[in-house]
C-alpha cells in the first residue's frame, strides 16, 4: 500500500526519527531525511532497505529553511505523501529559572516547525487527495511534569494542532494524528539519565531504572521500532478513519 510513496521525517539522524525512517523504508517508502549530527551512518541504514534516500539539513527553528525543505522534497521525489514531524529538543528547569532563549527554541523546534511543515506540505497532499501527517508529540502532550514547562506546552500545543489539521481535512484523504510516547532510550533521554546519575551519585544503570520506573508503570522503555510500527499502521489503509487522535504508547504512564 505504501510502496513508492515519499516521506519526510524531520530529525531522522537519530533516535525515534531514525527508527521511523527505517520502518517506513521497509514498506518501500522513499525517505527525505533531516537533522543534525552524524548523518552518513543513518542514511546508509535507511538506504539498505532498498529505497531512494536523500537528506536536507534544514534547521527546524527557521521557517524559510522549512519552506525550502518541503519544496526540495517535492521536486526531488515528485510528491510529499507522508510528513512525520519528529525533530525535538528538551531542557529542564523550573519556570522562574527557565532561560528565555531555551523557551523560544523549544517552542520553535517542537511546535512551530510542525505548523510550518504542514502549512507548506498540505496543498500538495490535498491536490493528490492523499496524505498522512504524523506528529511525534509525547505523553507530555497529555500530562505535565515539573521542570519541563516549554516541552509540555509545546507538546500539548502539537496535540491541539493535530486536531485542527484533522478537522480541516476530514472530508479528504489527508489524515493527521499524534503519537505520544513515554520514555524511549534515545540520546535525548540518555542526557537526562546521565544528569540524574551525576546528581544522585548513582550508576548510569541505576539512574536509568529509577527514571523509567518513576513514571512508566511497565518499568520498560518504549522502543523506536514499536513507534515505527504504529506510524506504519497510521499511514496504512486501515487507519484512514483515525483522524485527530493522540495515541499514547507509554507503558501505562497516562493511565495513572
**Residues with a known catalytic role:** 151
Asked if residue 67 binds ligand NAD (CB under 6 A), the reply is no
Whole-number minimum distance, CB 47 to ligand NAD, in Å? 17
Whole-number minimum distance, CB 103 to ligand NAD, in Å? 15
Kindly give, in sequence order, each residue whose CB lies less than 8 Å from that of residue 48, ignoring residues fewer than 6 positions away: none
Q: Exactly one of 186, 216, 231, 248 binds ligand NAD (CB under 6 A); which one?
A: 186
Asked if residue 60 binds ligand NAD (CB under 6 A), the reply is yes
- Residue 64: enclosing H or E segment and its boundaries? helix 63-77
- Residue 120: enclosing H or E segment and its boundaries? helix 113-128
Give the count of beta carbons closer than 10 Å to the beta carbon of residue 26: 16
Q: Compute the distance between CA of residue 156 and CA of residue 256 in angstroms, rounded to an integer.
A: 18
| Residue from 165, 15, 172, 170 nearest 88 by CA | 15
Nearer to ligand NAD, 120 or 183 (CB): 183
Nearer to ligand NAD, 143 or 172 (CB): 143
- Among the residue ranges 46-54, 117-125, 184-192, 231-239, the one whose residues contact ligand NAD (CB under 6 A): 184-192
From residue 105 to residue 144, the character string flagging contacts with ligand NAD as x (rule: CB under 6 A) and all else as - is: ----xx-------------------------x-x------
| Residue from 163, 171, 101 nearest 137 by CA | 163
From residue 74 to residue 103, the character string flagging contacts with ligand NAD as x (rule: CB under 6 A) and all else as - is: ------------xxxx--------------
Asked if residues 106 and 154 have their Cβ atoms less than 8 Å apart, the reply is yes
Nearer to ligand NAD, 39 or 128 (CB): 39
CA of 75: how far to CAs of 57, 67, 91, in Å?
A: 16, 12, 35
Whole-number minimum distance, CB 7 to ligand NAD, in Å? 15
Query: Is the Cα dihedral 15, 17, 18, 22 positive or negative?
Result: positive
Nearer to ligand NAD, 107 or 188 (CB): 188
Q: Exactly one of 1, 4, 36, 214 binds ligand NAD (CB under 6 A); which one?
A: 36
Give the count of beta carbons closer than 10 Å to the beta carbon of residue 198: 11
Per CB under 6 A, contacts with ligand NAD among 217-256 are none
Residue whose entry in the numeric block shows the C-alpha cell 507538546: 155
Three cell numbers, residue 151:
516541552
Asked if residues 45 and 15 have their Cβ atoms less than 8 Å apart, the reply is no
Nearer to ligand NAD, 126 or 226 (CB): 226
- Write out the residues near ligand NAD by the rule CB under 6 A: 10-11, 13-17, 34-37, 59-61, 86-89, 109-110, 136, 138, 181, 183-184, 186-189
Amino acid at each position: 500500500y505504501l510502496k513508492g510513496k515519499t516521506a519526510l521525517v524531520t530529525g531522522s539522524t537519530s533516535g525515534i526519527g531514525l527508527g521511523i525512517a527505517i520502518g517506513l523504508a521497509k514498506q518501500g517508502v522513499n525517505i527525505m531525511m533531516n537533522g543534525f549530527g552524524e548523518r552518513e551512518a543513518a542514511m546508509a541504514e535507511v538506504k539498505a532497505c532498498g529505497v531512494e534516500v536523500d537528506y536536507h539539513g534544514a534547521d527546524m527553528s527557521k521557517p524559510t529553511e522549512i519552506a525550502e525543505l518541503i519544496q526540495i522534497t517535492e521536486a526531488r521525489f515528485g510528491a510529499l505523501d507522508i510528513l512525520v514531524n519528529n525533530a525535538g529538543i528538551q531542557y529542564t528547569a523550573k519556570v522562574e529559572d527557565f532561560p528565555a532563549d531555551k523557551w523560544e527554541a523549544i517552542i520553535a523546534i517542537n511546535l512551530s516547525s510542525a505548523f510550518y511543515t504542514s502549512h507548506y506540505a498540505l496543498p500538495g497532499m490535498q491536490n493528490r487527495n492523499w496524505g498522512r501527517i504524523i506528529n511525534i508529540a509525547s505523553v507530555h502532550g497529555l500530562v505535565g511534569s515539573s521542570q519541563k514547562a516549554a516541552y509540555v506546552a509545546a507538546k500539548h500545543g502539537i496535540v491541539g494542532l493535530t486536531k485542527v489539521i484533522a478537522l480541516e481535512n476530514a472530508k479528504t484523504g489527508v489524515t493527521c494524528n499524534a503519537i505520544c510516547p513515554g520514555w524511549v532510550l534515545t540520546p535525548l533521554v540518555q542526557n537526562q539519565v546521565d544528569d540524574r546519575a551525576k546528581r544522585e551519585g548513582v550508576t548510569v544503570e541505576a539512574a536509568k531504572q529509577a527514571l523509567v520506573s518513576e513514571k512508566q508503570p511497565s518499568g520498560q522503555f518504549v522502543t523506536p521500532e514499536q513507534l515505527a510500527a504504529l506510524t506504519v499502521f497510521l499511514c496504512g489503509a486501515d487507519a484512514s478513519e483515525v483522524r485527530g487522535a493522540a495515541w499514547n504508547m507509554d507503558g501505562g504512564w497516562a493511565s495513572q
